[in-house]
Amino acid sequence: MCLVRDLDGVGDFPPGCFAVMVRVHHGQFDGTTALRLMNSLHEERAEAAGGPPPAWAPERTPSAPELLLRAPWHAAGRTWRAAAAAGSMAPALLRRAGRSAGRGTGRESGSRDGGGRDGGGRGRGPAGPRPAVPHTRFSSRLASDRRVFDFLHLPLDEVREIRTAVDGATVNDVASTIAAGALRRYLASVGELPGEPLVVMMPVSAHDPGSEREAGNRISLMTATAHTEIADPLERLRAGRAASARSKRATTEVGAGRVADLVDALPTNLLDLVAEPLLRSGIPDALPMPFSGVALTNVPGPPEPLHFDGARMVTLLGATFLYDFVGLIIAITSYCDQLLVAFTSTPEAVPDPGALADCFREAYHELREAAEAGPRP
């Protein structure tokens, strides 16, 4: 944790602002548990807590012999959990594979994709094999250790109003549509907008309902279509809502908790030994990727103001880590009356982060104006 003082004159932050920067390892925290950590560091009341903190004693550090005795039991338990998770997922995966094969033979209409490229909502005719997932400038291996970061705030009440323009749309759908519009604008500005929709990776919380465990990474992953090929913003929201619903159904069918159990049981040390030479071989560069190099995470934040030792929290921002073939991560959360959008990338992929931030603002205003005008004939 770092305390950053003297932020006067930075943006529209009020005088006397300071920042508390918390750096955590993703192996110990995901979005849900990171917000729990933030809540534990803050209070709802504005008055600073007085008096010494309550007494606390950590658990005893186990000795080396104790760790060695525990290791075989832990390894056996992880193997059993991995086998159980894989076995429980197999029927759902086989059903989905069968349905995908059926779509490939043209037995289902292609109109489920949510509209054609012109945004008119027309079907695409009989469905053939699915097109390859478009690659973008974010789909490559990371070119350097340097990072770029930017953020913007959007009024949450207006975002909630926009969702009423499309039946069944949620705040998450609106946020994802704004991100798709921003990607469409940015890629078009550099002459790299693909004709097919992008596929983004979306982490999904797999924490047990009611669990208040303060730490731990327990996420699953799903992919969702970002309809960057649709010009009309309201039609893009309709198509995005339908795509999100399909992705959620697929995740529910397979089981987010089962995927998290399987990932948690994998032998990470062995994976590290395999991954490094595999990357050096260049084989992954030639393989088709199941997503377009973009990840989008959306975690609801605190609805009421929080305070840090009596100081009101103005905003919260999340900068994320990157890895090969995922060169842009968009982190969306909320706080009080704000929708907070932040993104992390590399200077090679986003040489001007302010330009990408402007694309988010323009995509938001475009969608808001379309929602206010109502559906077009």
CA distance 48 to 54: 15
109 versus 352: the higher-pLDDT residue is 352
Q: Which domain covers residue 25, as residue numbers?
A: 2-48+133-373
Residue 72 lies in a domain: no
Indicate the average pLDDT of the chain.
81
Is residue 106's pLDDT more than 60? no
Helices (H), the chain: 31-41, 64-104, 156-163, 171-189, 233-254, 256-265, 268-281, 283-286, 353-373
Cβ of 294: how many Cβ atoms within 10 Å? 25
Is residue 291's pLDDT more than 60? yes
Residue 85 lies in a domain: no
Residue 96 lies in a domain: no
Max mean pLDDT range (13-27, 203-217, 338-352):
338-352
Contact criterion met (CB below 8 Å) for 279 and 141: yes
Residue 127 lies in a domain: no
Each residue of 243-255: pLDDT tens digit? Answer: 888 776 765 655 5
Contact criterion met (CB below 8 Å) for 10 and 315: no
Is residue 88's pLDDT more than 80? no
What's 59's DSSP letter? Answer: P
> What is the pLDDT at residue 127?
44
Residue 116 lies in a domain: no
Q: How many CA atoms lie within 13 A of 6 on its CB side?
A: 0
Each residue of 28-52: pLDDT tens digit? Answer: 887 778 888 888 888 888 876 667 8
Give the helix/strand (H/E) hosting 294.
Answer: strand 294-299
CA distance 147 to 343: 10
Contact criterion met (CB below 8 Å) for 347 and 324: no
CA distance 264 to 213: 16
Residue 31 lies in a domain: yes
CA distance 195 to 188: 11
State how far the alpha carbon of 230 is from the alpha carbons of 48, 361, 365, 376, in Å: 50, 18, 16, 15
> What is the pLDDT at residue 119?
41
Q: Mean pLDDT throughout 278-300?
A: 78
Closest to 325 (Cα-Cα) out of 263, 359, 279:
279
Is residue 219's pLDDT more than 60? yes
Number of independent structural domains in the chain: 1
Where residue 9 sits, what CATH number does that domain have? 3.30.559.30
CA distance 308 to 45: 9
> What is the pLDDT at residue 148?
96
Residue 151 lies in a domain: yes
Is residue 185's pLDDT more than 90? yes
What's 354's DSSP letter? Answer: H
pTM score, two decimals? 0.78
Residue 296 lies in a domain: yes
> What is the pLDDT at residue 157?
95
> What is the pLDDT at residue 375?
64
144 versus 112: the higher-pLDDT residue is 144
Is residue 109's pLDDT more than 80? no
CA distance 331 to 295: 8
Closest to 131 (Cα-Cα) out of 199, 59, 44:
199
CA distance 307 to 279: 45
What is the pLDDT confidence band of residue 95, given thresholds at 50, 70 and 90? low
What is the pLDDT confidence band of residue 351, given thresholds at 50, 70 and 90? very high
CA distance 359 to 329: 15
CB proximity list for 93: less than 8 A, separation 6 or greater: 254
